[in-house]
Chains A and B, each alone.
Chain A
Amino acid sequence: MANNDRKPVPLEFEQPLLALAAQIETVEKQLADNPDIEEDLTRLHEQYELLRRSLYAKLRPIDHLAIARHPQRPYTRDYFERWDPNWLELHGDRKGADDPAMVTGLVQLAGHKLVAVGTQKGRSLKDKQACNFGMPQPEGYRKALRAFHHAQKFGLPVVTLIDTPGAYPGMTAEEHNQSEAIAINLLELAGLTVPVVAVVTGEGGSGGALAIGVANRVLMLEHAVYSTISPEGCASILWRSADKVSEACQAMKMTAREIFHLGVSDEVIEEPLGGAHHDYALTANNVAAAVARHLDDLCKLTPAQVRSARQSKFRRMGSMQDAH
């Protein structure tokens, strides 16, 4: 089981916090020699807490992105393992491949038996390469599709966890029809009569994320992002400059709160202060509680209602004017 015993690696915007922590450490060392500075130390600790709270309360979109991409962020398997230590992984698309960037399995969660699907980024360098850094191949989407069909046949709800920069842009991926693999998932997910809950846990990258994201309820972790194109791609196309990433993040409205206000997600799930990588267990619990609540809700509907609710949810999305 993966754990997060290691100290969280700080991000760039957390530098002021780090400087203060270093100062506290120096003062602590001197404490043994002159006990009268204890008061200073308490004040420094207070300052540290204050700074920590204000820092995380005023994050810029690009800071959320940095947290969402944090190398120690919990990935799909970390959640499944914590939800159900006896979960069983299912492998393969039955057509000739098993993409490690897409994880499918049978998981129990708060009394619900689910078919769980999620993208996986890989922790070690070798894993990362095998998973293409979390970018599924068409085979990965077809493996997910197989899991959806399994869920439909046995009347099991589907839960998907999304953390991907996008579908893999490679030569064989195109030859094996990446577009069709994504499109057919959109179509088939729309037709399921079992409840589907999707959680964007990290990066929700474009069509590659949506291919497992057509759900009755779409939830997002506090620091997760969801966008049509990566901010780097957007900056290079619209600004024709690689150093406008921060502007692109801002303009695209990709943070969890903004997506919620646009009506595309249904709930923002709170993360431990500083981000999910500070406490895997708490994060997994928060996500489990939210998912279970929505599943309880959805299980009250008839299968036909579940499907039509999902279809009309996406049918309504968009913003336009009618000149007539």
Chain B
Amino acid sequence: MDLKEWFASRQKRRDNPEVKQPLTTEEYCALWTQCFQCRELLYTRDLRGNLFVCPKCQYHFRISALDRIEQMVDEESFQELDAGLCSADPLQFVDTDPYPKRQEEATRKSGLKEAVVTGVGKILGRTAAIGVMDFGHFGGSMGSVVGEKVARLIEHAQKNKLPLIIISSSGGARMQEGILSLMQMAKTSSVLKSFSDAGLLYISVLTEPTYGGVTASFAMLGDLIIAEPGARIGFAGRRVIEQTIRQKLPADFQTAEYLFKHGQVDMVVERVKLAEVLAHLIDFHSGKRGDKVQTTQASGVKTSASRA
């Protein structure tokens, strides 16, 4: 075999899907995940089985929107809405890279078109309109499309009288869309006003991390607000505050537990119990005014009276 042939055969082996390929460094590293909190080295497959919660220290890892839906929503019950919506480049924004290039990069990393996935699905048998943000896509930032998808989800929920659940995870407004991204705060809040006036239930779930324009709009407007353990939630980032007030902040500043202590969230719920708690809350707030307690057999979760 001459050198040319050897190269050709090597290429053929690579292109042949039936030949088992050696792991790339990236893939090899993906087998193992180190816990950010306790530094324990965890086998990724086990970690996934444990809903991406460290079995040793209960650290809740950030998870993608699709993983979240898989964990929380009943199998094959999720129907996505507005999957085709994607961003334009209204400002022709260029920083060190043009905005469209950054969008492509974000899509390549996350596999999503935008930083939120919306749809209708069942949580332990209860139908709900569900929106899940993905921090892995462009830092979960809210641009026109995220605002529009959230607004359409709320409108869909209102039209079909469904409870609304939004799992937030975002760095805030998307700077590359300038003022239009800021206006998404007004858009989503304005649509929520009609939804709320219609007497429907909105549960906001805050996950690591939720900041800026998302916290200061729909994420903080839930009738009920749930936070995941250890999630950092706030308006301004820690570094900005430290620079402004020139003091060191407490270590647990802006964590879910800190917010809970300051009366900003109703409860801090572990990931493993999230679906169960959501189902309970949906049941509690469903039915007509004055309905008496009934027990649902489907999940075994006991519901309480829905008083007016």
A: residues with CB less than 8 A from B are 167-171, 173-180, 182-184, 186-188, 190-191, 206-207, 210-211, 213-214, 226-229, 233-234, 237-239, 247-248, 251-254, 259, 262, 264, 310-311, 314-315, 317-324
In-complex Cβ contact of A187 among B93, B148, B196, B212 (8 A): B196
Query: Do A251 and B189 touch across chains, with their CB atoms under 8 A apart?
Result: no
Looking at B41-49, B126-134, B171-179, the stretch in contact with chain A turns out to be B171-179
B158 located at the interface, meaning its Cβ lies under 8 Å from any Cβ of chain A in the complex:
no
Chain B residue at minimal CB-CB distance from A244: B95
Chain B residue at minimal CB-CB distance from A251: B93
Once A214-B186, A317-B186, A318-B148 are accepted as A-B contacts, the answer to whether A238 and B96 lie under 8 Å apart by CB is yes
Query: Do B193 and A190 touch across chains, with their CB atoms under 8 A apart?
Result: yes
Query: Do B185 and A321 touch across chains, with their CB atoms under 8 A apart?
Result: no
Chain B residue at minimal CB-CB distance from A317: B183
Query: Do A320 and B96 touch across chains, with their CB atoms under 8 A apart?
Result: no
Once A170-B241, A171-B249, A320-B148 are accepted as A-B contacts, the answer to whether A252 and B175 lie under 8 Å apart by CB is yes
Query: Do A315 and B235 touch across chains, with their CB atoms under 8 A apart?
Result: no
Chain A residue at minimal CB-CB distance from B212: A207
Chain A residues whose C-beta falls within 8 Å of the C-beta of B301 in the assembled complex: none
In-complex Cβ contact of A314 among B177, B190, B218, B219 (8 A): B190
Query: Do B217 and A186 touch across chains, with their CB atoms under 8 A apart?
Result: yes
Q: How far is the CA of A317 from the CA of B186 in the complex (A)?
A: 9
Q: Which residues of chain B in 226-254 are interfacial with respect to chain A, using CB atoms and an 8 Å cutoff? A: 234-237, 240-241, 244-245, 247, 249, 253-254
In-complex Cβ contact of B262 among A177, A191, A237 (8 A): A177
Q: How far is the CA of A229 from the CA of B196 in the complex (A)?
A: 29
Query: Do A252 and B91 touch across chains, with their CB atoms under 8 A apart?
Result: yes
Q: How far is the CA of A178 from the CA of B213 in the complex (A)?
A: 11
Query: Do B221 and A187 touch across chains, with their CB atoms under 8 A apart?
Result: yes
In-complex Cβ contact of A228 among B84, B173, B192, B219 (8 A): B173
B279 located at the interface, meaning its Cβ lies under 8 Å from any Cβ of chain A in the complex:
no
Query: Do A253 and B179 touch across chains, with their CB atoms under 8 A apart?
Result: yes
Query: Do B87 and A186 touch across chains, with their CB atoms under 8 A apart?
Result: no
Once A187-B193, A187-B196, A314-B186 are accepted as A-B contacts, the answer to whether A207 and B179 lie under 8 Å apart by CB is no
B: residues with CB less than 8 A from A are 83-88, 90-91, 93-96, 113, 143-145, 147-148, 151, 173-175, 177-187, 189-194, 196-197, 212-213, 215-221, 234-237, 240-241, 244-245, 247, 249, 253-254, 262-264
Shortest B144–chain A CB gap in Å is 3
Chain B residues whose C-beta falls within 8 Å of the C-beta of A237 in the assembled complex: 175
Q: How far is the CA of A247 from the CA of B237 in the complex (A)?
A: 23
Chain A residues whose C-beta falls within 8 Å of the C-beta of B83 in the assembled complex: 324
Shortest B28–chain A CB gap in Å is 31
Chain A residue at minimal CB-CB distance from B217: A183
Chain A residues whose C-beta falls within 8 Å of the C-beta of B84 in the assembled complex: 322-324
In-complex Cβ contact of B190 among A186, A206, A322 (8 A): A186
Once A314-B186, A323-B84 are accepted as A-B contacts, the answer to whether A183 and B218 lie under 8 Å apart by CB is yes
Chain A residues whose C-beta falls within 8 Å of the C-beta of B247 in the assembled complex: 171
Chain B residues whose C-beta falls within 8 Å of the C-beta of A247 in the assembled complex: 95
Chain B residues whose C-beta falls within 8 Å of the C-beta of A206 in the assembled complex: 173, 182, 213
Chain B residues whose C-beta falls within 8 Å of the C-beta of A322 in the assembled complex: 84-86
Contact sample, A vs B, 14 pairs, CB 8 Å cutoff: A169-B237, A171-B253, A174-B253, A175-B262, A177-B263, A179-B216, A184-B220, A233-B240, A262-B91, A318-B184, A320-B88, A320-B145, A321-B85, A322-B84
Chain A residues whose C-beta falls within 8 Å of the C-beta of B240 in the assembled complex: 169, 233
Chain A residues whose C-beta falls within 8 Å of the C-beta of B91 in the assembled complex: 251-253, 262
Shortest B6–chain A CB gap in Å is 44
Q: How far is the CA of A187 from the CA of B197 in the complex (A)?
A: 11
The list of the 8 closest CB pairs from A to B, nearest first, reads: A318-B144, A169-B236, A186-B189, A190-B190, A324-B84, A319-B90, A323-B84, A238-B95
Chain A residues whose C-beta falls within 8 Å of the C-beta of B193 in the assembled complex: 187-188, 190-191, 311
Shortest A290–chain B CB gap in Å is 20
Shortest A300–chain B CB gap in Å is 22
A251-B95, A311-B194 given; 10 more Cβ-contact pairs under 8 Å: A171-B241, A174-B241, A190-B190, A206-B173, A214-B189, A237-B175, A238-B175, A311-B193, A317-B186, A321-B86
Query: Do B220 and A321 touch across chains, with their CB atoms under 8 A apart?
Result: no
In-complex Cβ contact of A174 among B184, B185, B234 (8 A): B234
Shortest B33–chain A CB gap in Å is 27
Query: Do A321 and B87 touch across chains, with their CB atoms under 8 A apart?
Result: yes
Shortest B113–chain A CB gap in Å is 8
Q: How far is the CA of A237 from the CA of B238 in the complex (A)?
A: 14
Q: How far is the CA of A220 from the CA of B285 in the complex (A)?
A: 44
Once A206-B182, A253-B91, A322-B84 are accepted as A-B contacts, the answer to whether A183 and B175 lie under 8 Å apart by CB is no
Query: Do B190 and A315 touch across chains, with their CB atoms under 8 A apart?
Result: yes
Q: How far is the CA of A256 from the CA of B87 in the complex (A)?
A: 24
Q: How far is the CA of A317 from the CA of B219 in the complex (A)?
A: 19
Interface centre among B151, B173, B187 (most CB of A within 10 A): B187
Query: Do B189 and A183 touch across chains, with their CB atoms under 8 A apart?
Result: yes
Chain A residues whose C-beta falls within 8 Å of the C-beta of B144 in the assembled complex: 317-320
Chain A residues whose C-beta falls within 8 Å of the C-beta of B237 in the assembled complex: 169
Chain B residue at minimal CB-CB distance from A235: B95
Chain B residue at minimal CB-CB distance from A237: B175
Query: Do A210 and B182 touch across chains, with their CB atoms under 8 A apart?
Result: yes
